[in-house]
Amino acid sequence: MTTWKDLCMLRRLLPILGRCLRLQCPRCGQGRLFARAFTLFEHCPVCALSFEPEQGYYVGAIYLNYAATVVIATPGFLILDYWTDWSLTHQVLIWSAFAIGFPILCFRHSKSLWLSLDYFFTQSPRDGNRPNVTES
């Protein structure tokens, strides 16, 4: 049974996941996460949310990336093995290339997903993770 609290959480989660897909800050949705292809900003350029709260923060993103690779490659191998008569050598070459290329392609989104999930589960929209930005 879906409760009102579940609907409120889903209502908060969906925009955060949308920002994750667009590689934008999970809090404000306006700041970009990456300065260059694989270089994160330290903070959101708009709301100053820390994108690197601690050293090793993105180890979880590596696990997400690895899990996605395995979840796709393992059934993919079995399906190709069942439906095609490709040799084991061809299969190994194909899935090795996939296992190398897929994590590189998903590197940015796995970091974005990790940051977004962390933001969703640990911070309220009205939290105080905003550093002082009073410059004059």
Binding interface with Zn ion (CB under 5 A): 25, 27-28, 31, 44, 46-47, 49
Q: What Rg value do the Cα atoms of the chain yield, rounded? A: 19
Q: Using the minimum distance from each CB to Zn ion, give the nearer residue, 45 or 76.
A: 45
For residue 115, with 0-12 CB atoms within 10 Å meaning exposed, 13-18 middle and 19 or more buried, which class applies? buried
Q: Using the minimum distance from each CB to Zn ion, give the nearer residue, 44 or 61.
A: 44
Closest approach, Cβ 30 to Zn ion, in A, equals: 6
Closest approach, Cβ 108 to Zn ion, in A, equals: 16
Q: Using the minimum distance from each CB to Zn ion, give the nearer residue, 53 or 75.
A: 53
What's the rounded Cα separation, in Å, for the pair 14 and 102?
A: 25
Say which residue the tokens 């990790």 belong to: 114
